[in-house]
Structure 1
Amino acid sequence: MKPGDRFPKFTYPIVTASGEEKWVQVFLEGKFDIGNQMTELFGVVMDISDNYKRTIAIQKLNTELTRSNAELERFAYVASHDLKAPLRAIKNLSSWIEEDIEEIASDDTKSHLSLLGSRIERMEGMLEGLLQYARVSTRSFETTTLNLEKELDDIWSLLGADKHIDFIKHLDVDQVSVPNTPFLLVLNNLISNSIKHGDNELTKIEVSAAIDEENNYYHIEVSDDGPGIPTRFHDKVFELFQSLKPKDEIEGSGLGLSMVQRVVEQYKGSVELDSNPDITRGTTVRFSWPCN
């Protein structure tokens, strides 16, 4: 060793005179003479037991989280993949039955077969939603820069272009730097929810976006003038597979808002619901997303 060299730190367990096991870290420092020869060695022993135990606990939790996420994605894939095949077979079978008895079936029978078909499609949507939910919750995505107006227009062209609904944008930010897939999934689900849960009086859906540069967050709102959500159901709508309408009256898996909440919170954002149909129609969902 020579002057200026750093001694390595040593971390190891010890057992005290009372029999207690502790973890310590040893710091060394040398004293040198004019010939740069080390003449003395000083050491400091620091008790790091608490920090060490916390570090080990965090490592174990991270390992367990990684394992749980992998199991979740594997389960969702197997469940959706293994169930899709027999579900398709049931769908085909019901279609063949409908064709075979078309000329002799009663109105009730035709209605029941139609209901069966719609429920099969709903189950397909739930399986696909489950797989999507697992994927977006367990994977990491690179940050990209998106043109927000273009992305919103693309979403609307897929979901609402054929609807008699005004799509209005109030964008105080042109581009957003975000993980592409999860961010667009949130927007897609919120706009889709407004359409699916609307009624004949739904006339507009509005999207607002702004940036809070001081706190480094994007703030997005998706609003509609639909029937609204009673306040007593505000928590329920964020639960898995929950819908306020009868399942036969609405398309979808019931994963929309639960997926929105999970994804937003996973990326250290927050989401809230503003709706009180006792006062006025409409629902607003606000979410914040960190600027990357």
Structure 2
Amino acid sequence: MTETTGIPAIGAAADIDPRWYRDLVETAPDGMVLIDAEGRIVLVNAQAERLFGYTREELLGQSIEMLVPEKYRRGHLRHREGFFAEPRTREMGAGTELPGRRKDGTEFPVEISLSPLRTDRGLYVMAAIRNAQERKRANDKFRALLETAPDAIIIIDAAGRIRLVNAQTERLFGYQRDSLIGKPIEILIPERLRSRHAEHRTGYFRSPKVRGMGVGLELLGRRKDGTEFPVEISLSPLETEEGVWATAAVRDVTERKAFERQLADYAENLKRSNRELEQFAYIASHDLRAPLRSLIGFSQLLQQRHAGRLDGEALEFLGYITQSAKQMQSLIDALLEFSRVSRTEQVFVPVDCEGVLSRVVHQLRALIDSRNAQITHAPLPTVLGVEHEIVQLFQNLVTNALKFQPGPQPRVEIDVQAEGGFWHFTVADQGIGIAREYHDRIFQIFQRLHPTEEYEGTGVGLAICKKIVEHHGGRIWVDSEPGKGSIFHFILRSAPPGEGAATS
């Protein structure tokens, strides 16, 4: 800058053309305005013309207050005089936000940075002026979102001081906003947990990252009245001009915790009721067997010893009694078998399914040979479970597959695939199939789709399979259509190499 421009020379390196400084100011992205100690404008750049709508000639020599709304001019004059009394650099965004005034009278928010310039003709101040309308619009939108958030939102700095809260924070903790700003975040935490929380906070700022709701330690919040309540917190790092801050979304989970306790109590009561019911079924079934055996025995004796004294109708009725008693005995035996599954604590051990299937085929040899059946299978893995239950599972499914293939040479195919830490087994047949509406019902105890005259059985076999699989932490289901056979699926845990015994 030279004397010919009416602007004092500002100290520059001798080898730098002063015009470079003028060009630098002219091309700056912010409006640049230089004023003297009297507040007169002595320099403006093109961006200042565009920002305020004045030409350069209209601005030069005028008071800087012409760019300030009338209602703020007196206060601005005091601030300007105070700045010249103690000049210092003030960065963009520091201090009070100011409105600017355009030539047409419209007002808009501005951010201003100030830099004092000492020259041989006195003190000048360079103001860099930026239209803050977009930023203010974004801030307003951010604050609106903040205020309408369903969770309490708290923003803290790296020292743990609260910098911003929303209305939900006031409602949740019982504090007024002004009484929280600037306070340590630990004010919202029970006293006995504050030192530990401060350590966690310091650790978070060492390695800030997004932490979702419900992840990490469960915390307690403390209201202004001293009451405590359980909270879940999500954390997100926030980059600011003052460094990394953190945004915390805080949710009161009192109701959810109460519901979880009720659910846990209900589950425990249900488990206890199931144990009692199984115990009752076991005892009742066991005690019913003796009188039932007597009923069958005496009916048969009556038929053998007194057949000549009874007419045909009486013998027929005795036959019905014996047949019904035997059917009842089968149901009681099935109920006992069902109640025995997972009735006591079991030990889970590695179970070789190849060996299990060999035992099942051996036990069913008479049935397989009489039906000329074919059992094929893929190489079977080792699973973690209770061996006799796994044997019963395979036996029930293979028996079921053979039973519902009425034609000659029934075929059963067993396959398996690894799925993470589990094995997915399938047992497929080419039998009569099952309608979709019965896919769940067949796994319920004593549920039959066909009369015993067509297919013998008690309706307990698949219910036992379901109970065994669920006892092993898996699940069982069926894919089937009438006339297209059935594929029974079940999932069991794999046994890692070297796995030892583990209590269920």
TM over 0.5: yes
| Aligned-pair CA distance for 1:246 | 1.5
CA distance in 2, matches of 1:128, 1:85: 12
Amino acid in the other structure paired with 1:284? I
Name the counterpart of 2:492: 289
117-126 or 224-233: bigger deviation: 224-233
Name the counterpart of 2:143: none
* Match of residue 179, structure 1, among 386, 394, 411: 386
181-190 or 72-81: bigger deviation: 181-190
Name the counterpart of 1:237: 442
CA distance in 2, matches of 1:128, 1:75: 14
CA distance in 1, matches of 2:220, 2:489: 52
Amino acid in the other structure paired with 2:425? I
1:226 match: secondary structure: coil
Name the counterpart of 1:268: 473
Kept after mapping to 2: 8 A contact 1:170/1:207: yes
| Larger gyration radius, structure 1 or structure 2 | 2
CA distance in 1, matches of 2:350, 2:281: 30
Name the counterpart of 1:153: 358
Q: Does 1:116 align with 2:116?
A: no
C-alpha deviations, 1:87-117, integer Å up to 9, x for none? 1111111111110244566666655544433
**Cα 1:156/1:119, change in 2 over 3 Å:** farther
| Aligned-pair CA distance for 1:80 | 0.3
CA distance in 2, matches of 1:171, 1:61: 42
Kept after mapping to 2: 8 A contact 1:73/1:131: no
Question: Following superposition of structure 1 onto structure 2, how do residues 73-92 of structure 1 map, counting pairs within 5 Å?
Answer: 73-92=278-297
CA distance in 2, matches of 1:108, 1:202: 38
Instruction: Provide the aligned length of Structure 1 versus Structure 2.
Output: 254
Question: Following superposition of structure 1 onto structure 2, how do residues 36-185 of structure 1 map, counting pairs within 5 Å?
Answer: 46=221, 47-48=229-230, 50=254, 53=258, 56-57=261-262, 59-103=264-308, 112-162=317-367, 163-185=370-392
CA distance in 2, matches of 1:195, 1:114: 29
CA distance in 2, matches of 1:193, 1:104: 43
CA distance in 2, matches of 1:174, 1:270: 18
1:161 match: secondary structure: helix
Q: 5+ residue gaps in structure 1?
A: 1-15, 18-23, 31-43
Name the counterpart of 1:188: 395
* Match of residue 26, structure 1, among 192, 206, 210: 192
Kept after mapping to 2: 8 A contact 1:212/1:219: yes
Q: TM-score, normalised by structure 2?
A: 0.44
**Cα 1:247/1:89, change in 2 over 3 Å:** same
| Aligned-pair CA distance for 1:212 | 1.4
CA distance in 2, matches of 1:104, 1:155: 47
Name the counterpart of 1:210: 416
2:412 match: secondary structure: strand
**Cα 1:286/1:112, change in 2 over 3 Å:** farther
1:246 match: secondary structure: coil
CA distance in 2, matches of 1:128, 1:246: 19
Percentage of matched positions with identical amino acids: 26
Give the superposed CA RMSD: 3.2
| Aligned-pair CA distance for 1:73 | 2.0
2:366 match: secondary structure: coil
CA distance in 1, matches of 2:316, 2:408: 28
CA distance in 1, matches of 2:323, 2:374: 28
Amino acid in the other structure paired with 2:195? E
Amino acid in the other structure paired with 1:77? Y
